[in-house]
Amino acid sequence: AQSVTQLGSHVSVSEGALVLLRCNYSSSVPPYLFWYVQYPNQGLQLLLKYTSAATLVKGINGFEAEFKKSETSFHLTKPSAHMSDAAEYFCAVSIGTSGSRLTFGEGTQLTVNP
Amino acid sequence: GAVVSQHPSRVICKSGTSVKIECRSLDFQATTMFWYRQFPKQSLMLMATSNEGSKATYEQGVEKDKFLINHASLTLSTLTVTSAHPEDSSFYICSAITRGRGDTQYFGPGTRLTVL
């Protein structure tokens, strides 16, 4: 079975600072990996996904993530945080096909300070 | 493109009543839809997977007689919470995929259910 661990339930950064949200996965087969963002009382919006193509994946809103098989990691980064980036971020994994059932991490609440 | 809607966005009901939540894919045909629930400050937990025209597959621990799922068409799935109780209060989110869109799950905006 696959699983995802997000290190740090809360991350706080200053506006303009680097954003780094950590995600490690466990999977017995090559995984598909996703990052989603959730604003309060809303559904999830896909930021980016890894589907075994390029290991460095660029997403929307300036976010990117790098798949590192040796470290079983898929950390999310953004060079410069904006106030509007404050939200809950979820890492998720699926196997088989990228549209298979998703297993989510516990989420990381990102706070951006002015 | 790839818009998923849910209705209602918020519902409050009395204990013992049934509540139906609709999930629609607005601009694509959804071969598969998923239903999740999310408790405050927690992650999403998959409840069931539904394919159009067939019975839903429920995750372990989810009561299929309590959470009735009907995937009546390629654009509509419904979740009915039967005989709701306060512990059923949660945020329910659906997602939909279609093979023609790279198998990505597109999520609805969620439905906040409060059972009094």
Determine the Cα angle at A98 with ends A75 and A108, to 5°: 30
* Mean pLDDT, range A9-30, rounded to an integer: 94
At residue A98, does pLDDT exceed 70? no
- Please choose, from the candidates B85, B74, B96, the residue with its C-alpha nearest in 3D space to the C-alpha of residue B2: B96
What is the residue type of B40? Answer: P
Q: Do B102 and A98 touch (CB under 8 A)?
A: yes
Q: Is the peptide bond before B8 cis (omega within 30 degrees of 0)?
A: yes
Average pLDDT over chain B, rounded to whole? 90
Q: Six-digit token pair at A51? A: 């589907």
At residue B68, does pLDDT exceed 90? yes
**pLDDT tens for each residue of B31-46:** 889 999 998 888 889 9
What is the residue type of A17? Answer: A
At A83 the pLDDT is 96
At residue B114, does pLDDT exceed 70? yes
Q: Is A52 exposed, middle or buried (0-12, 13-18, 19+ CB in 10 A)?
A: exposed
* Mean pLDDT, range A95-105, rounded to an integer: 76
**Chain B residues contacting A via beta carbons under 8 Å:** 4, 6, 32, 34, 42-46, 49, 91, 93, 95, 97, 99, 102-110, 112
Question: Is beta strand B111-115 parallel, antiparallel or unpaired with respect to B10-13?
Answer: parallel
Q: Six-digit token pair at A109? A: 């609440």
At residue B101, does pLDDT exceed 60? no
pLDDT category at A102 given cuts 50, 70, 90 is: confident
Distance CA B100, CA B19 (A): 32
Q: Are A33 and A49 in contact (CB under 8 A)?
A: yes
**pLDDT tens for each residue of A21-80:** 999 999 888 888 999 999 987 888 999 999 877 899 999 999 999 999 999 999 999 999
At B94 the pLDDT is 95
At B102 the pLDDT is 59
At B55 the pLDDT is 86
At residue B1, does pLDDT exceed 60? yes
How close, in Å, is residue A81 to chain B by CA atoms?
Answer: 23
